[in-house]
Chain A
Amino acid sequence: MCGIVGLHLRTPELHPELGRLLTGMLCEMEDRGADSAGVAVYGDPVWTPGGHGAVSLLGVDAGADDAAAAVSAALGAPVQGRVLAETLLLTSPAGSEQLLAAARAAHPDALVAGFGTDLAVLKGVGHPHTLADSWGLPGAQGWQGVGHTRMATESAVDAAGCHPYAVGPDQCLVHNGSFANHATIRRELVAAGVEFDSLNDTEVGARFVAQRLAEGRDVETALKELCATFDGFYTLLVSHHDSFAVVRDAIACKPAVIAETADWVAMASEYRALAHLPGVEAARIWEPEPEVIYAWTR
């Protein structure tokens, strides 16, 4: 069992509220998974200044300034570092892919939690509410956020096993369930040159989607291919630089609720995570049908 939450804000007036709303949603899902948690925040003007590339790293022991200086030297451009609990968030006027290459060169042992132009990915082992406080999540702003509370079932409780899996540019995937044939698909992806950070089943799904998106498919097509390829139980929330998508497996035993108003689209494992969103009493609320892909674009 795990908990998923996601909030896609349509009205700019709510952007300053993103962190507060996402924190409430995440903490409500703590009952569904309390060993680890993670969030992806799109568009916070402090964490990820507009137009800058951003890379989130885990497992960097150096302080923010030293770690950023090492990346700056490798990049040949200014890099700012910010420590948010276990996560080192690097930003630079350079593009995120160049920044990522420099970060990998300067910190080869670090785990890349995510990268993109306005994406901060924060994750770690511990209670969701403790982690949210340590990140300062309630104060975050932005236009889209995704969160996950983990109850591990098939791989280690460590930073590499935490969701979200943000393995492609501006992409993020969170999962409730378990893939049955992930080892087979992992072997195929490895043979195709894809590298993995963990033994986690969800990472296979995220790498699969990232590979399809890199080949030029849209999110809906990539998720249709995922449904055709992956066996097992899943509710997935997949976010991208301009989109927010939900899909469930054919059996649909892993829960999901979507609520939509003129101001926002929200998804969670259970309604109680949505119960305190502004205007929810007038929202259209439904459960996603099995193997139907629901996607919203900005």
Chain B
Amino acid sequence: MDTLTATTFDLTTTPLRDVNAALHADGVSGEYVVTGPSGTHNIAVGVNAPVKITVDGHVGYYAAGMNQQAEIVISGNAGTGVAENMMSGTVVVAGNASQSAAATAHGGLLVVHGDAAARCGISMKGVDIVVGGDVGHNSAFMAQAGRLVVRGNAGDGLGDSIYEARLYVRGDVGALGADCVAKEMRPEHVEELAGLLKAAGYEDDPAEYTRYGSARRLYHFRAHNTY
């Protein structure tokens, strides 16, 4: 049953397991605030309900991992693997995210308003990611599906061994990864990018972006690669 005010959990006095168990309860709904995270790992992992969760501070590893349906806001920075393997819902990081943000995620939207470190979107399988700042090296490595939007610059190895994800970068790319190439922005891409930016709360001109994707040269073995 919905409540008019949010339920608050203070991690300085409440064990993390109790907090996550409450968020996993059958029929859970409403709004929750988690205070005092102090870099703790595994906050709000495995939630599978249409709840709204605000974590007030910096979180450790795997925050909001495996999220389904929930709308989770982290007011500070996030450690390794925020929203890893997310299936649906929304995760918003107000600060920076460490490496492997949204790794292997199948769906939903991750917004990082600051920078994301190395391997952002590694092996992404359908998630949408919008990064307000820069992404580190090897982002979208082996990306299979989904969209990655970078409002700043991307480090070396962007989209290395990429399959069919679409990458949109406004700034510079250090070096493209193997089989990742710049591609034409057709009207459907402009429309798609505008929608992603709007969903993340940004109003950039999509014309400032370059689209990157797979050249599809690694899909098949070639005869001259045999020995």
Residues of A within 8 A of B (CB): 251-253, 255, 270-276, 285-287, 289-290
Contact = CB atoms under 8 A, between A and B. Distances in A.
A271 B80 contact: no
Nearest to B60: A272
B118 interface: yes
Contact of A271 (B79, B99, B137): B79
21 contacts: A251-B118, A252-B99, A252-B117, A252-B136, A255-B98, A270-B39, A270-B61, A271-B39, A271-B60, A272-B41, A272-B60, A273-B39, A274-B39, A285-B58, A285-B96, A286-B96, A287-B117, A289-B136, A290-B118, A290-B136, A290-B137
Contact of A287 (B40, B61, B98): B98
B136 A272 contact: no
A275 B60 CA distance: 11
Nearest to A31: B41
Interface in B42-72: 58, 60-61
A272 B38 CA distance: 6
A162 B60 CA distance: 26
B77 interface: yes
A286 B98 CA distance: 9
Contacts, number: 43
Contact of B38 (A276, A286, A290): A276
Interface of B: 38-41, 58, 60-61, 77, 79-80, 96, 98-99, 117-118, 136-137
Contacts of A251: 118
A275 B38 contact: yes
Contact of B96 (A255, A287, A289): A287
A273 B79 CA distance: 13
A256 to B, nearest CB: 10
Nearest to A289: B136
Contacts of B40: 272
Contacts of A272: 38-41, 60
B79 A252 contact: no
Contacts of B79: 255, 270-271
B58 A275 contact: yes
A276 to B, nearest CB: 7
Contacts of B77: 271, 285
B60 A252 contact: no
Nearest to A253: B99
A290 B138 CA distance: 12
A273 B77 CA distance: 14
A53 B79 CA distance: 41
Given A253-B118, A289-B136, 5 more contacts: A252-B136, A255-B79, A275-B39, A275-B58, A287-B96
A110 to B, nearest CB: 39
Nearest to B98: A287
Nearest to B118: A252
Nearest to B137: A290
Contacts of A255: 79-80, 98-99
